[in-house]
Amino acid sequence: MTNTPASTHPVVKPLLNYREAGKLLGVTERTIFKLVKDGELPNVKFGRSVRIDPDDLRGFIDKAKDGRGANHVS
């Protein structure tokens, strides 16, 4: 087993819950729930917990800006 410094491991961004994702987008938790349910916003599931990857949230925003989706957010 090799001992590698922690700096060589990629940094993992904390996943967001519905409230945090909604706050970043300026929408309610319910809107985030609907976007996830409708398959418009990718998510990560751990048992009954659902989280949003910040990179997926960024992609969602970029698609909305390009007019390729996100009918729920203006």
pTM of the model: 0.74
- Whole-number pLDDT of residue 3: 62
HEC string for the chain: CCCCCHHHCCCCCCCECHHHHHHHHCCCHHHHHHHHHCCCCCCEEECCEEEECHHHHHHHHHHHHCCCCCCCCC
| Residue range 11-26, pLDDT digits in tens | 888 999 999 999 999 9
State the CATH architecture for 13-65: Orthogonal Bundle (1.10)
Q: Which residue has the higher pLDDT, 72 or 1?
A: 1
